[in-house]
Structure 1
Amino acid sequence: LSKQTKDPRKKVRMLALAHFFEGKSRYQIAEYLKVSRTSVNKWVKDYLDYGLEGLEELPRSGRPCKLDDAQLKQLKAYVLDSIDRTEGGRLTLEDIQQYISESFHIEYELSAVHRLLKRQNFSWISSRSI
């Protein structure tokens, strides 16, 4: 495996190919890696058709983010500033939802706020100050 590869999904795909070229069956590879045989078939086909570029993760479809890059940066600063406050308290998803609504005039469901924070590399653990 290449040390340059940081994407764990690509590492699994490359490992599947290594097993494939060692003569393992696609069923054996799927069982060993705990993935579906369909996935192994796709990875092998993509490699045979496109080489290593076929193993790259393709952009996924879906609704684009309602916030632009500047707004995301502002939101991240708000969250970081809020957790560094010395007066304590806690920051809830509802607080962030309200901040987004008031600051950007954009409405988000709580589940979408959670996903948005996760994409910004925030893990959400509720805690209270002493």
Structure 2
Amino acid sequence: RPSFLSHQEKQQLAKYIEENAAKPDGGRLTGHDIHDYITQTFGKAYHPDYIYILLKKMGFSWITSRSKHPKQCDKIQEDFKKIQNRNDP
């Protein structure tokens, strides 16, 4: 059975996912976001549960790290790690 999305549409979707998976202002890309993107951009309606199957077929795995808080500062975190505890030799 032929794919619902063309090869070019899948490439465009993959680019969208890679660019939006880790948002610099915090938050994550969800299956709902991907479903909305497909519906709005390509005008094709997938069942929401099928999005995860589609991602797997495209070579994506749904493993994410915790998102960053929008006010998180990497420098402050690194400086905090350098503080010695009283119990450290």
The TM-score with structure 1 as length reference comes to 0.48
Decide whether aligned partners of structure 1 residues 112 and 64 sit closer, same or farther in structure 2, where only a CA change above 3 A counts.
farther
Percent identical residues: 40
Alignment match, 1:93: 31
Question: 3-state DSSP class of the match of 1:87?
Answer: coil
Alignment match, 1:110: 48
Alignment of 1:78 onto 2:16: yes
How many Å separate the matches in 2 of 1:117 and 1:86? 22
Which structure has more relative contact order (CA 8 Å, sep 6+)? It is 2
8 Å CA contact retained: 2:34, 2:51: yes
8 Å CA contact retained: 1:93, 1:113: yes
Match for 1:64: what amino acid? Answer: P
Match for 1:122: what amino acid? Answer: F
Is the helix fraction higher in 1 or 2? 1
What's the CA shift for 1:112?
1.5
Over the residues paired in the alignment, what is the CA RMSD in angstroms?
1.5
How many Å separate the matches in 1 of 2:63 and 2:2? 26
8 Å CA contact retained: 1:90, 1:127: no
Match for 2:57: what amino acid? Answer: R
Question: 3-state DSSP class of the match of 1:103?
Answer: helix
What's the CA shift for 1:129?
0.9
- Residues 19-30 of structure 1 mapped to structure 2, 5 A cutoff: none
Runs of 4+ more than 2 Å apart: 125-128
